[in-house]
Amino acid sequence: MPGISETKNKRFILITFLLFWALYGSVTNLWNQYGYNLMHAGVEALAERGVFYLEGSPTPRFAQIEVAKPMPGYQTSTDVFRHHGHLYPIKQPGMFFLGAIVYKPLSLIGLRYVREYNLTSALVSWFTSGLIGAFLVTLLLWQGIIEGLGRKSALIVAMSIGLSSIFFPYSGVLHHDFLGGCFSYFAYYLLFGPEARKSSSPLRLLFGGFLAGFAFTTSALTFFFVIPFGIGVLSSRGMSSFRYFAEGYIAGLLPLLFYNTVCFGNPFLMSNAVAQDIYTHPSFVSFPKLFDKFIIYFISMRWGLWTFSPVLYFAAAGLVLRVTGAHKKSDGWVLLCAVIPVIFFILTIPSRGGAEFGPRYLLPAIPLLSVGLIPILKALDMKKHGMAMWHWILWAILGLSFCAGVTICFTGALRGSMYGMEVHPFLYRLEVGMGLSGIQETPGAFPLLYPIIFLLAAFFYYIPERFLWKDDLSLTDSIHESSRIVTN
């Protein structure tokens, strides 16, 4: 019957969303809730006291923030600063507004930070980052299916960001860069995704612009996305569509402008500028130093992205294919021009993220970068390209990268991401997790967990799709099949 495959795909999408949301909730841990207590302090200040400054909290864990030692020469620590007698976070306020929406109902039923910090902070993280992250993974799965991938290939694309990238360890954290990256992808999907190519409704453009603006309200690193998004809308749909996008973008900035006005007296004065936080300001960097930072971010075994998320290098190659290859899409240039400036920017700032699991300054760009995996999986489709040796080699390397990323990122998701790799290099953490090293810093090690995770990921990746489910038609194929049946 027509539409059966499409219905199965939608059911498959829903089940995937629920499983990812449940998984993100199950790995939400107290190491993260304690390490990122600053985020929750901002939520409590807004939801309970109606202010943006942090002092005056009755919660003991938040009171500790008030005695943070300032950096030499500044009235600031690495994350907070004093301004006109008040203590403010050096963060964009989007996550505070979002967290307050979740926390307020919880506080009304008795779940308050001051009473039940552990459970309350975990629930706020799960209903913000966990929920939004699971929705992003599911939407990327849906995009892969619409663009012609079979279920398994589309699921590999979704799992590559959802489990095999540093996106996963931050899914249990109320984190500005994580949320900013999610909102940026949602904006991209509304403005340039598969359905957007067939629709230019004002509401879609307004909401896409709003999400892009709110992404900047949440994470400053998403600023670089607005220019390619705006040029893409203007060049493909004209000035009238661009106007809707711009109006939505300004609406998304309103919470930030309000926050800056209330806190600093100027809607355009950002917290890091007021705090004189030189560590996040770009500066002139000589080529040797620029190259050294590039090595640290992308090549170093200790800190580089490939150590944590090797599958994303395939995604980068896929973005190039999306621009120039046989799988070229009109949104390819938008994605490429959004990701490259973020990479260049983080190479020019003194900070590289501090205590983190992987290069977290890349977090806002990872969802957009992951779209590149769709053309990669299409290019490696056995049904279309046969069994050529190069195909087998690339397919096998992608599989190993996928399985390694899942295993490594599980260590961050379970143990917490607020620990610098100088202290917890991933090989050490794997040794501890498997019981091969001492467990003084990581009690509760799981000797068999990580090998089992690797084997499960390998089983899923390498087993033929016909053993997983019967209907492996993509949504595009099912629609064509339905049309053929109706026509005949």
pLDDT in tens, the chain (488 residues): 334 466 777 889 999 999 999 999 999 988 889 889 999 999 999 999 999 999 889 998 888 787 655 444 444 445 888 888 899 999 999 999 999 999 999 999 999 999 999 999 999 999 999 999 999 999 999 999 999 888 999 999 999 999 999 999 999 999 999 999 999 999 999 999 888 877 778 999 999 999 999 999 999 999 999 999 999 999 988 899 999 999 999 999 999 999 999 999 999 999 988 887 766 666 666 677 778 888 888 888 777 888 889 999 999 999 999 998 767 788 899 999 999 999 998 888 877 666 678 888 999 999 999 999 999 998 887 555 566 777 888 999 999 999 999 988 988 888 788 764 444 445 665 665 555 555 454 545 676 788 889 999 999 999 877 777 665 444 444 444 433 433 33
Distance between first and last Cα of the chain = 13
Amino acid, res. 41: A
SS3 440: coil
Question: Which residue, 185, 178, 217, 182, is CA-closest to 91?
Answer: 217
The number of folded domains in the chain is 1
Q: What is the pLDDT of residues 415-453, one digit of tens each?
A: 788 764 444 445 665 665 555 555 454 545 676 788 889
What are the φ and ψ backbone dihedral angles of 325, each rounded to 5 degrees? -85, -170
Distance CA 150, CA 144 (A): 8
Burial class (CB in 10 A: 0-12, 13-18, 19+), 217: buried
Calpha distance 458→108 (Å, rounded)? 45
Please tell me the number of Cα atoms within 13 Å of 359 on its side-chain side.
27
Give the other-Cβ count within 10 Å of 366's Cβ.
28
Q: Which of 376, 373, 370, 368 shows the shortest CA–CA distance to 188? A: 368
Q: CA 434 to CA 238: how far, in whole Å?
A: 57
CA–CA gap between residue 46 and residue 50 (Å, rounded): 4
Nearest-CA neighbor of 274 among 264, 261, 284, 288? 264
153 neighbors 144 (Cβ within 8 angstroms): yes
Specify the amino acid at residue 405: G
Q: Which domain holds residue 157?
A: 4-487
pLDDT digits (tens, 9 = 90+) for 325-343: 767 788 899 999 999 999 9
Query: Rounded distance, CA 157 to CA 316, Å?
Result: 13
- β-bridge pairing 80-83 and 86-89: antiparallel
Within the chain, how many helices (H) and strands (E) appear? 24, 2
The span from the CA of 270 to the CA of 253, in Å, is 12
Best CA proximity match to 329, nearest among 318, 339, 315, 343: 318
Write the burial class of residue 349 (CB in 10 Å: 0-12 exposed, 13-18 middle, 19+ buried).
middle
Q: How far is CA 60 from the centre of its chain?
A: 30
Q: Where are the alpha helices (DSSP H) in 59-175?
A: 60-63, 94-108, 117-125, 131-146, 151-162
Query: Phi, psi at residue 121, to the nearest 5°?
Result: -65, -35
> pTM for the full model?
0.89
Element (H, E) at 39: helix 37-49
